[in-house]
Amino acid sequence: MRNKHVTRSANWQQLQFLVGNMGGWARLRLLLLCGLVLACISCAAKEPSLPEEAGEVPFPEVKKLTFTGNEQFSSRTLRKAMATKPRPLLPPWKRGEPYNPPTLQEDLQRLQKYYFDRGFLEAKAQIEKVEEDPETNSVQIVIAIAEGSPTHVKAVQLAGTIPPELASKQELLAQLPLRPQERITKATFDQSRDLLLARLQEAGYARAQVVPRTEVETTTHEASVTFTLQPGARTTFGAITVQGAEQVKERAIRRKITIREGDIYNAKELTDSADAIYNLGMFQAVTPRPLNLAEPDTPLDIAFEVRERRPRSVQASIGYSTVERFRVELEWTHRNLFGGAQRLTLSGKVSSIEQTFDGSLFFPYALFPRTTFTQTVFVHNEQLINTDPLGITDALFNFEDPQPNFDLFSLGGESRIGYQFTRTLTGAAGINLSLNDFSNVDRDAIDEEDDIIAEDNLLLIQFAELIWNTSDSPLNPTRGWLLRGRGDHSTTALLSDVSFAKILVEGRYYQPIWWRMILALRLEVGGIQPYGGSDDVPFNVRFFAGGPGSVRGFATNRLGPVDDDDDPVGGQSLIEGSVELRFPIFGEFSGALFVDFGNVFRDAFTYPLQEIRYAIGSGLRYNTPIGPVRVDYGIIIDRREGEDFGRLEFSIGQAF
């Protein structure tokens, strides 16, 4: 039986892989065929069952489960809180859970707790009716809900000792999610207690406690909440150890630990040290554990427990976006190359518009603390290849070649030194050497004055950048700032065929405004100035705009100067931005309304505001562990002759 089960699992995994790699129409035909086969099996090929033993009656199926009296929460929401599940609408062959009276009684308690946690302290749930159908061996259950009145917060108070390192009592109360006149919920109650505890720990009181007390007036349905602060004595760090490291040298781990024995305890520094160790990429998990928390008036010993990853791994992925169309990626990583958490990564990608190979060697420590070094080599080929011979995705998404006037082959490498100034401020500097070969250039479409920008070139670029990032997530931020500035320089005095200076500055801001709604803002400005006999800069240096990560509604690179065939030629000045309102819909689905604007201009550091183009639109997102899957439709406001009304874009990750 065990071998048979393993064989079935392997076959199912193979089937999942084959289905996942099918085209859209082929997958639809397969699903229709499977549905027909399943329907035939369920109707005409039921396996005969053995007769029941005398006295043995199977549990009846829960066919239907409904509620009465629920006004605050939908029946669908309440069913999710229960273990008893009715027969679902889809798929039609799936059955409901067996009816078990003890489980149903436990579900009544779960429903009451669900209401209690959301401020309905007197809510009751009871069975109103259970209808059994002996012929189908099923039951229909009706549950009556008496919600009662919600309990609101009458007052929130702080008691005990407020250390001088903390804000004033009024300022602390203003920070709490639990507020007077609002409904009391377990979530805001716990968040308020945890916030006060975090403030005490951030001030050095590692063994602090926050003791809550709630008094409820049942007649008025009001609750008074008091949080008593018990900070105790300020704590210092004691011995700091590393546990679980077998392959990675402990010295490499300790370089990322910023806390020191004898320092005043700081919860944020402790968390930052754990994050820095995890970001080495060597570990599955990093957990800082206090060893003697129950011993008052003693330094707090800390152990960083690490669980190492495998030294080598291979990752493969298949994806689709309206920019690259189909995409296949393969990555091989060798971790802890020399025992000091060094990392070697080789990766390749093939998409409809680009084929690349990259190799990078990362050193987490380079001569000085908080300094990293990365050496990269790359081979990039920007050439359109047809990965959709049937034209299905072109019909759905109107795919366009981002660079129809030429193909570009680039070979080179980059040396980068990074430095962590603070937790939120990082910087980098280095050089980038590339040999760039243009081919299949449409000389007839490109203006004579632009012909030079499609010539082969050798570039040795010196660059420097600064990033200030206070946002709360790299994949789906909800609050904070991200400011980025980068400067590139190339000169014919140092190998390059072109002399220019290039600057790009970008700012992003995320702010929660109401009911999990997020206001996201972005502005990006750039300019390129050729000098020293160079009148222009090549295609592979110029700015382009338009597309799902730029100004939506326009095709990729299609916003800005064009040639005689209305194909993009880029420019030496860029301005673009977005205003986006993100809001939840249900479950993992969320929506967005946006206004994008921007343009590219031929001349250096020239920004005629009257020529800025605008687009509006809406989108749908589905949150995944690797970021939201995003579908946006942008509409061009001031549409011109020959331009599309708008575009549907499909990709992964937020637009910014």
pLDDT for 450 equals 66
Kindly state the percentage of the chain with pLDDT values over 90: 71
Q: Is the pTM of this model over 0.85?
A: no
400-652: which CATH topology?
Porin (2.40.160)
CATH topology of domain 61-146: Ubiquitin-like (UB roll) (3.10.20)
Calculate mean pLDDT across residues 219-233.
Answer: 95
The answer to whether 48 and 39 are in contact (CB under 8 A) is no
What DSSP letter does each residue of 505-567 carry, written as one string? EEEEEEEEEETTEEEEEEEEEEEEEE-TT-----TTTSB-B-STTSSTTSPTT-BS-B-TTS-
Band of residue 475 on the pLDDT scale cut at 50, 70, 90: confident
Q: What is the pLDDT of residues 572-602, one digit of tens each?
A: 999 999 999 999 998 889 999 999 999 999 9
Q: What pLDDT does residue 30 have?
A: 42
Residue 36 confidence (pLDDT): 44
User: What is the architecture, at CATH level 2, of domain 152-230?
Assistant: Roll (3.10)
pLDDT of residue 51 exceeding 70, the answer is: no
579 residue type, one letter: V
Which residue ranges does the chain devote to CATH 3.10.20.310? 61-146, 152-230, 237-308
What average pLDDT is seen over the chain? 88
Please report the pLDDT score of residue 1 as a whole number.
38
CA distance linking residue 650 with residue 630, whole number of Å: 6
State how beta strands 300-308 and 283-290 pair: antiparallel
Angle formed at CA 175 by CA 165 and CA 296, multiple of 5 degrees? 40
85-144 per-position pLDDT tens digit: 998 887 777 888 899 999 999 999 999 999 999 999 999 999 999 999 998 899 999 999
State residue 613's pLDDT score.
96
pLDDT tens digits along 519-543: 999 999 999 999 988 888 999 999 9
| Structure token pair of residue 334 | 């060798």
Q: Which fold has domain 237-308?
A: Ubiquitin-like (UB roll) (3.10.20)
In the chain, where does the domain assigned CATH 2.40.160.50 lie?
Answer: 400-652
- Examine the pLDDT at 58 and tell me if it is beyond 70: yes
| CA nearest neighbour of 596 among 634, 633, 647 | 634
